[in-house]
Amino acid sequence: MEDHSVGPLLRALPRETARPGFTQRVLRRLDEARGRDAKAAALPTEKLPRPAFAAMAVVAILVFSAGAFWYEQSREAARNAEARRLLQEIRAEHGRLERELHDLSAPPVVYLGGDERMDLVVDLSNVPAEDGPAPATYRLDTF
């Protein structure tokens, strides 16, 4: 069937009519709905007045800001504690290195060799500086 032939066929169908009393029932329901709305408008509402709502909003903002500030302070305190711990470790390592450097700066003993009857060992603290340059391990200024 083609589209241009559908229109006359639809017009040929009998028209739908409303049941008797339909209009009166619809108008009565509309009047009842208006009456309920009027009664609801007359009843006191439980809504908050605008100043109370604004005060609650300000309190909520203050609470949120205080929480964010406290959280940031606790994170900063944790970072500071970590920095102090790392500084303490660095100072302890510095002390160990300083002691090791001091131990290395003591005049060393040099083993020169030997045989079954004798070992040749020289204590550099007994060698005077005029006899030649002091070894690097004997001087503190080389570190």
> Residue 119 is encoded by which pair of tokens?
């070992």
pLDDT at site 45: 56
pLDDT at site 3: 67
pLDDT at site 40: 66
pLDDT at 142 over 60: no
CB 121 within 8 A of CB 109: yes
pLDDT at site 76: 94
pLDDT tens digits, 84-127: 999 999 999 999 999 988 877 766 778 888 888 898 888 877 76
pLDDT tens digits, 32-87: 888 777 766 665 656 667 788 888 889 999 999 999 999 999 999 999 999 999 99
Q: Domain residue spans in the chain? A: 48-108+119-143
Region of 54 on the Ramachandran plot (φ > 0 left; ψ -120 to 50 alpha; else beta): alpha
pLDDT at 131 over 90: no
CB 71 within 8 A of CB 86: no
Q: Can you tell me the distance from the alpha carbon of 96 to that of 77, in angstroms, rounded to the nearest whole number?
A: 29
pLDDT at site 1: 53
Contacts of 56 (CB under 8 A, 6+ apart): 48
pLDDT at site 52: 81
pLDDT at site 139: 57
Reported pTM: 0.37
Residue 4 confidence class, pLDDT cut points 50, 70, 90: confident
Strand (E) or helix (H) holding 98: helix 50-105
> Residue 113 is encoded by which pair of tokens?
């060799």
DSSP string, 27-66: HHHHHHHHHHHHHHHHSPP-PPPHHHHHHHHHHHHHHHHH
User: What average pLDDT does range 1-21 have in this prediction?
Assistant: 78
